[in-house]
Amino acid sequence: MTAPVVVLVGPPGAGKSTVGRLLAERLGVTFRDTDADVERTAGKPIPEIFVDEGEPHFRALEAAAVEAAATGHPGVLSLGGGAVMADASRALLRELPVVFLEVALGDAVKRVGLDAPRPLLAINPRARWRELMEARRPLYLEVATAVVDTEGRTPEQVADAVLEALELKA
């Protein structure tokens, strides 16, 4: 098993992909995003998977992507916002250096705009985001080795905080 050096979890707009790329560059490793893995496997964007095959099919693809990446990627790994919902994924993550990037709704809106093509945020995005966070926050905390608050921080500052939290040298 080849394990990631850092796994980033958190809701949409937390900065997982942006910070993940910065961390990978600083650590001299590769970056992998399970959302991109799912899209590559399905041959279509995530919103189309939701429309064409439904959320359960997407979640199955996501769980497979998490398993493959968590056991075979030696770099920085970013997980989709809902990846922590699968029991098997959480079990894998408990053994890894996982950082929960915590973000406030206002910052998430600024970063991604809640009109972006995110299937679970399509109707009443602000209320839905809050609901998702209420359900997922305990799961993010369950798997997290460390929590980094992103509020008021640049991606570079968040990357610094992740490295410090995990005591990694870049």
Taking the C-alpha atoms of 162, 163, 166 and 168 in order, what is their torsion angle to the nearest 10 degrees? 160
Angle in degrees, CA 45, 23, 140, rounded to 5: 65
Q: What is the pLDDT, as a whole number, of residue 99?
A: 98
Distance CA(52)–CA(99), nearest Å, equals 32
Q: What pTM does this model have?
A: 0.89
In the 8-state DSSP scheme, what is residue 2?
B
The answer to whether the beta carbons of residues 78 and 32 sit under 8 Å apart is yes
The 10s digit of each residue's pLDDT in 140-156 is 999 999 999 998 899 99
